[in-house]
């Protein structure tokens, strides 16, 4: 599950000029979605056990990201 949020504040500088502050956060809860575990237990060439057999080494979503921006509207 991914939850994204954005907040913005408009400040009027002149009649035709506005400054907008934006704060955006992606995957705000930082919930990990894990990938599948390594499925190969033994090496097909030597028959020895793989070091990462059954381990989950990846995630399917990006970690939390936050960005700030100023936008000038005219």
H-helix or E-strand spanning residue 22: strand 17-26
Q: pLDDT tier at 43 (50, 70, 90 boundaries)?
A: confident
User: What whole-number distance in Å separates Cα of residue 16 and Cα of residue 3?
Assistant: 34
Q: What pTM, to 2 d.p., does this model score?
A: 0.63
Assess whether pLDDT exceeds 80 at residue 1: no
Put the strands of the sheet holding 17-26 in their side by side order: 5-14, 17-26, 65-73
Q: pLDDT tier at 50 (50, 70, 90 boundaries)?
A: confident
Q: Who wins on pLDDT, 34 or 23? A: 23
Assess whether pLDDT exceeds 80 at residue 61: yes
For the stretch 8-26, pLDDT in tens is 999 999 999 999 999 999 9
């Amino acid at each position: 599950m991914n939850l994204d949020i954005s907040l913005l504040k408009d400040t009027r500088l002149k009649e035709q000029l506005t400054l907008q502050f934006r704060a955006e956060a992606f995957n705000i809860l930082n919930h990990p979605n894990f990938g599948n575990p390594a499925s190969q237990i033994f090496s097909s060439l030597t028959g020895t056990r793989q070091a990462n057999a059954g381990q989950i080494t990846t995630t399917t979503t990006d970690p939390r990201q936050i960005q700030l921006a100023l936008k000038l509207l005219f």
